[in-house]
């Protein structure tokens, strides 16, 4: 499945009603954040109770590089200082999927716990 380094096209995003960012984890609560690779915050850390986080307006992503992060609350109720998931992906111009991965749903990005 798409992983770190996956590339989406602007054409794919224009046709997608939403974009799901999915990860594996066992925490009871998470914080999801999305940044441009230059550090510009697009989605500030947002509390979610489970994977995935659904971006309902993928049109906010233009050509460039992005990083999405997930922080987990541990069993003691503390937030980790480092993200459990930090995944980088790119958006390029064009209509076709980039690369040779066969993907059922190219609008889903998967991170690793």
- Verify cis geometry, omega within 30 degrees of 0, for the bond prior to 52: yes
pLDDT at 3: 52
| C-alpha separations of 47 from 3, 44, 88 in Å | 23, 10, 20
For residue 111, the model assigns a pLDDT of 37
Please, what are the domains in the chain?
7-92 (2.60.40.10)
Average pLDDT, the chain: 80
Give pTM, 2 decimals: 0.78
CA angle 9-15-18, nearest 5°?
A: 95
pLDDT tens-place string over residues 44-63: 999 999 999 999 988 889 99
Decide if pLDDT at 6 tops 90: no
CA 98 to chain centre: 17
pLDDT of amino acid 37: 87
Could you report the per-residue pLDDT of 25-43, keeping only the tens digit for each? Answer: 889 899 999 999 888 999 9
* DSSP helix, strand, coil percent of the chain (3-state; round to 5): 10, 40, 50
- What 3-state class would DSSP assign to 95? coil
Q: For the residues 2-7, what does the mean pLDDT come to? A: 68
């Amino acid at each position: 499945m798409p992983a770190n380094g996956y590339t989406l096209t602007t054409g794919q995003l224009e046709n997608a009603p939403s974009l799901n960012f999915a990860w594996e984890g066992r925490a009871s609560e998470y914080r999801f954040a999305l940044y441009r690779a230059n550090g510009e915050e697009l989605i500030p850390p947002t509390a979610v109770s489970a994977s995935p986080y659904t971006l309902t307006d993928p049109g906010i992503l233009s050509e460039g590089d992005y990083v999405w992060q997930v922080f987990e609350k541990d069993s003691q109720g503390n937030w980790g200082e480092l993200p459990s998931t930090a995944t980088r992906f790119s958006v390029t111009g064009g209509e076709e999927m980039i690369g040779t991965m066969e993907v059922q749903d190219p609008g889903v990005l998967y991170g690793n716990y």
